Structure 1
Amino acid sequence: MNTQKVAVVTGASQGIGAGLVTAYRKLGYAVVANSRSIQPSDDPFVLAVPGDIATPGVGERIIEQGLEAFGRIDTLVNNAGVFVAKPFTEYTDEDFDLVTGVNLRGFFEVTRRAVEAMLGQGGGHIVNVSTALVEHANTNVPSALASLTKGGLNAVTKSLAVEYATRGIRVNTVALGIINTPMHPEETHEALAGLHPVGRIGDISDVVGAVTYLEDSPFVTGVILPIDGGQTAGH
């Protein structure tokens, strides 16, 4: 049986996801990397699985291909997410379908199959990526669909952590402030920094460091860990 650990990262082609792929490879893991547009890797221990996780069947296929290539699944990082900020009454049905499709349906299918695999091998770790806006709503960032979906991830983190606590599967979440990724143009950074008590936006390395901390913490499960420059503490 293969003893090399295997991590699955969704939303892996850029930003935080790409940083996580690199971090898990440095930890010695093989990585199954998914995004809609992911390109094949030169690294034989990185399996690229393109596909939109909102589409039925894709989440299961990501896990199946990882099992086929590497024989096991030790960690799943549910990093893929969609953020649409609008006043509540301006959200369309299409916005709802898009955001719930990726943030909830995609999470559900890929995680369900990953948990099955983890139960078969005696354990594993799931890390969800959420937003500080769930706990710290902001008048300047109207984002009800983010709170609706990512709030669900925060809740299910605790539910799954308790459900599987005696079976070796840990479930944690990182709740992010605004992170310096391609999603945020350079000219917005100064204004966005003001949303955080520490006076700057986060770096990808801040998120990667938190995920690797959780990876290496066998007594930590059911935690919503804010990586938000102090946002949820107050302002």
Structure 2
Amino acid sequence: MRGLTGKRVLITGGSTGIGRAAAIRFAEEGASVAVNFIGDPEPAEDLVDELGELCPEGEHYLAPADISDEDAVDSLFAGVVEAFGRLDILVANAGIKVVHEPHEVLMADYDRLMAINLRGAFLTAQAAVQHFLDTGHPGAIVLTSSIQAHFPVEDGAIAYVMSKSGMTGMIKALALRYAREGIRVNGVGPGATRTPMNADFEEDPSIEAAVIRMIPAARIAEAEEIAAAIAFLASDEASYIHGQTLLVDGGMGIGRTG
């Protein structure tokens, strides 16, 4: 895609799932990638090694940080900018999902989910915008939302739905405010995707079958398909797209089949 070769990209929640697929796609496009993660470093370390093989001319880094912590985000961006010289693209992808019936939601789980999914997305987007403004070099921000921000399903993930719905507003508000500075803010809204977050698809075929019945395309997405949309929105191919959430959902948003 036009405009990705040589770019410097930070991906939060980048060691597994959609984040991992996005890191690989950007490396394939010739970009340098900083992989943010929390917890076990091994998947991120393995990924950075793989990125180096895919794009040896790039620079690829581990960027551990808890994105729900403001000081940690400041340190994260300072480290990435020191390593890269500057940042061109932020993919705010980190997120978790907790399932409870709405009347049984534990506030500790609610607070943790909101801290990562919504607060973390805002803190990293805020830091990216500040960097773009300070350097006078506008960049692109792509946030990973969800089809459930627009079309919830009855799976007990109300806090997740709320966090992603808030992200939709964030995308529009940031895009509206900073478009004149040349900063582009958009999102992707994945439908059902084969990732560790949806491990129950593999564990219980009946769950996957039930989900597929709701999808006109009659299949679960692969993480690489979501990564392709992320790369597109970050690229020069999407230079006139601002404030949009691109649903990558197999048609689920236009009508469920069952």
Q: TM-score, normalised by structure 2?
A: 0.85
Among 56, 63, 80, the alignment partner of 1:66 is 80
Identity %: 31
Structure 1: gaps of 5 or more residues? none
Give the deviation of 1:184 after TM superposition. Answer: 2.4
Equivalent residues of 2:96, 2:197 under 8 A apart = no
Aligned to 1:208: 227
Aligned to 1:175: 189
Distance 1:54 1:32 in 2: 18
Superposition pairs of residues 123-142 of structure 1, within 5 angstroms: 123-139=138-154, 141-142=155-156
Distance 2:221 2:125 in 1: 27
Among 17, 33, 36, the alignment partner of 1:31 is 33
Distance 2:141 2:158 in 1: 25
Greater CA drift, 107-116 or 6-15: 107-116
Aligned to 2:62: 48
Matched, 1:162 2:181: no
Equivalent residues of 2:141, 2:234 under 8 A apart = no
Distance 1:28 1:126 in 2: 18
**Greater helix proportion:** 2
Equivalent residues of 1:62, 1:110 under 8 A apart = no
Give the deviation of 1:85 after TM superposition. Answer: 2.0
Equivalent residues of 2:22, 2:224 under 8 A apart = no
Equivalent residues of 1:35, 1:51 under 8 A apart = yes
Equivalent residues of 1:8, 1:75 under 8 A apart = yes
Matched, 1:117 2:131: yes
Give the deviation of 1:13 after TM superposition. Answer: 0.9
Between Structure 1 and Structure 2, how many residues are aligned?
A: 232
Greater CA drift, 84-93 or 185-194: 185-194
Distance 1:226 1:45 in 2: 31
Distance 1:54 1:194 in 2: 36
Give the deviation of 1:18 after TM superposition. Answer: 0.9
Give the deviation of 1:56 after TM superposition. Answer: 3.3
Give the deviation of 1:4 after TM superposition. Answer: 3.6
Give the deviation of 1:154 after TM superposition. Answer: 0.5
Aligned to 2:18: 16
Distance 2:61 2:225 in 1: 25
CA RMSD of aligned residues (A): 1.6
Distance 1:234 1:60 in 2: 42
Equivalent residues of 1:32, 1:62 under 8 A apart = no
Aligned to 1:196: 215
Matched, 1:146 2:160: yes
Distance 2:162 2:95 in 1: 13
Equivalent residues of 1:6, 1:31 under 8 A apart = yes
Equivalent residues of 2:193, 2:222 under 8 A apart = yes
Query: More relative contact order in 1 or in 2 (CA 8 Å, sep 6+)?
Result: 2
Give the deviation of 1:144 after TM superposition. Answer: 1.6
Distance 1:98 1:84 in 2: 9
Distance 1:190 1:61 in 2: 44
Give the deviation of 1:160 after TM superposition. Answer: 0.6
Equivalent residues of 1:179, 1:203 under 8 A apart = yes
Give the deviation of 1:132 after TM superposition. Answer: 0.8
Letter in 2 for 1:222: G
Superposition pairs of residues 215-234 of structure 1, within 5 angstroms: 215-216=234-235, 217-234=238-255
